[in-house]
Amino acid sequence: MTLRLTALAALLATALPALADEINVYSHRQPELIQPLVDAFTAETGIAVNVAFIDKGMAERLVAEGDRSPADLVLTVDIARLMQIVEADVTQPVTSPVLDAAIPATLRDPAGHWFGLTTRARIVYASKDRVADGEVTSYEDLADPKWKGRICTRSGLSDYNVALTAAMITHHGEEATQTWLEGLKANLARKPEGGDRDQVKAIAAGECDIAIGNTYYIGQMLADPEQAPAAETVRILFPVFEGDGTHVNISGVAMTKSAPNHDAALKFMEWLASDEAQKIYAETNNEYPAKPGVERSALVAGWGDFTQDSKSLAEIAGFRPAAVKLVETVDFDG
Whether residues 39 and 76 fall in one domain: yes
Whether residues 314 and 256 fall in one domain: no
Query: What is the pLDDT at residue 120?
Result: 96
CATH number at residue 286: 3.40.190.10
Domain count, the chain: 2
Whether residues 111 and 175 fall in one domain: no
Whether residues 319 and 192 fall in one domain: yes
**Residue 10 pLDDT level (bands cut at 50, 70, 90):** very low
Residue 309 in this model has a pLDDT that exceeds 90: yes
Average pLDDT over residues 129-136: 92
* Assigned domain for 6 exists: no
Q: Tell me the per-residue pLDDT of 53-81, one tens digit each, with 9 for 90 and over.
A: 998 899 999 999 999 999 999 999 899 99
Q: Tell me the per-residue pLDDT of 240-269, one tens digit each, with 9 for 90 and over.
A: 999 999 999 999 999 999 999 999 999 999
Query: What is the pLDDT at residue 18?
Result: 57
Residue 11 in this model has a pLDDT that exceeds 90: no
Assign 3-class secondary structure to the chain.
CHHHHHHHHHHHHHHCCCCCCEEEEEECCCHHHHHHHHHHHHHHHCCEEEEEECCCCHHHHHHHHHHHCCCCEEEEECHHHHHHHHHCCCECCCCCHHHHHHCCHHHECCCCCCEEEEEEEEEEEEECCCCCCCCCCECHHHHCHHHCCCEECCCCCCHHHHHHHHHHHHHHCHHHHHHHHHHHHHCECCCCCCCHHHHHHHHHCCCCCEEEEECHHHHHHHCCCCCHHHHCCEEEECCECCCCCECEEEEEEEEECCCCCHHHHHHHHHHHCCHHHHHHHHHHHCCEECCCCCCCCHHHHCCCCCCECCCCHHHHHCCHHHHHHHHHHCCCCC
Provide the whole-model pTM: 0.91
